[in-house]
Structure 1
């Protein structure tokens, strides 16, 4: 079991860290072949992704940059993620905007970078057989080193994704529910099942959008996800599945407040 400590990270609370500090997961020892900073994931078979509530966005409906606290199953923080995107695209393109997400560890060091480039014709699952019409999330660790990606797949109705490794070989498929639209009165969780790419399509993990409570669902776009995967899964693929949860969040849950109203 991971140890608990309450020490504040050295970089304080003024830039990349959340304003409300909790308990922190101790940095595991370095692992041969593991990108620096991903050692946390070697000890985990589940991560919790909690989007922070942006009060200005909730009060004004003005789209701000997303921020996420990433924790283990004990609630200990191991990462913090912050979106970087242009104001113009946030205002004019909404959830379809291009973005980068910088993931930092508890020492404020960037360990993962995720990128989705803007595509004016992307998003529709019916047309996702074309790269021009399919969203693709790139995952790098360290920055500049591509370790995998998540590509939207063509489907008639169900959300579907293809998870790729560093050589862009398909490793997993992700299939979501037929109607992934949440709201204050829809108290269920939404499961996106991660399965192998062979004919058996064996489930190996799950990305779950969790119900956040009436107030949070009704008045904010902030979401909670859990991501489960095998403990012995390649740590780079764990990072890619973490990226998949953010891609799903942007594509299906970023504008729920607008849809509800």
Structure 2
């Protein structure tokens, strides 16, 4: 049976380059992302339509955008290492329907991926990842753990492909956080996920990773951005609002470190 982490289009039977993590971009503020020109792509075996760009990608940057008219939904640009925009993403908020729904489009406004979480309870949560032709690519499963962040990337048949381990949502309130992407036996580090700044999140992985797994890793970024870093801000705001007023000139005054 073929290894699910080997990309068929590359005709490579070797496993992904474990322990070889691509260098990530420095923590800088990128200028407005230029559009990646549309190209004629040939449908590759094992590559969902619209994801052909990911074949030669080993790093993605998720950059949140802000606008006065965005309302409660958030919008993102998905950039490559050269800060060229590959995809656009929008979180859709609605009173009825999925508790979490993100749709990714290419620069021609064509659908690429849809991320859907139906259950918002406190039990183990799971997000489905669909291609633009409504084919199920897999799941991102968030395990209930307050000490560490533990996510699993699952195949459509719920087989574990990779896992993501990092600091817990409640234990890392301040500062940047990094997450390791590991093989399912936790013996090999496949990649890194980290926030470069307040509005940028980066994921790096082997170039020869299967495209559908790259898409699942990108989907996991949205989970982490939503649950981890938004929670950080909420906790920081709560901490500031509940803190007793102290004279800044007093010896008892200790400034609170703001989230970078």
TM-score by length of 1: 0.71
Match of 1:202 in 2: 188
Deviation track 1:193-241 (CA, whole Å, cap 9, x = no partner) reads 100012x5210011112233xxxxxxxxxx3100111111110110010
SS in 2 for 1:166: coil
1:27 shift after superposition: 4.1
1:176 shift after superposition: 0.8
Whether the aligned pair in 2 keeps the contact of 1:113 and 1:143 (CA below 8 Å) is no
Q: Which runs of 5 or more structure 1 residues have no equivalent in the other structure?
A: 1-19, 58-62, 90-96, 123-132, 213-222
Q: 1:165 to 1:210 in 2, by over 3 A?
A: same
Relative to total residues, which structure has the larger helix share, 1 or 2? Answer: 1
C-alpha separation in 2, matches of 1:23 and 1:155? 39
SS in 1 for 2:148: coil
Corresponding residue pairs, total: 203
Q: 1:177 to 1:257 in 2, by over 3 A?
A: closer
C-alpha separation in 2, matches of 1:65 and 1:87? 12
1:143 shift after superposition: 4.2
1:153 to 140, 143, 156: 143
TM-score by length of 2: 0.71
Match of 1:109 in 2: 110
Q: Is the aligned partner of 1:80 residue 2:56?
A: no
RMSD: 2.3
Q: 1:88 to 1:231 in 2, by over 3 A?
A: same
C-alpha separation in 2, matches of 1:245 and 1:81? 12
Match of 2:200 in 1: 224
Q: 1:236 to 1:27 in 2, by over 3 A?
A: farther
Deviation track 1:225-258 (CA, whole Å, cap 9, x = no partner) reads 0011111111011001000010111111224433
C-alpha separation in 2, matches of 1:68 and 1:228? 18
Residue pairs, 1:1-261, within 5 angstroms: 22-27=33-38, 29-33=41-45, 34-55=47-68, 64-86=72-94, 98-119=99-120, 121-122=121-122, 133-155=123-145, 157-178=147-168, 179-182=171-174, 186=175, 189-198=176-185, 200-212=186-198, 223-261=199-237
Match of 1:11 in 2: none
1:88 shift after superposition: 7.9
Deviation track 1:88-117 (CA, whole Å, cap 9, x = no partner) reads 89xxxxxxx812111000111001011112
Higher RCO (CA < 8 A, seq sep 6+): 2
C-alpha separation in 2, matches of 1:253 and 1:240? 19
Q: Which runs of 5 or more structure 2 residues have no equivalent in the other structure?
A: 1-30, 238-260
1:56 shift after superposition: 6.5
Whether the aligned pair in 2 keeps the contact of 1:101 and 1:115 (CA below 8 Å) is yes
C-alpha separation in 2, matches of 1:116 and 1:153? 14
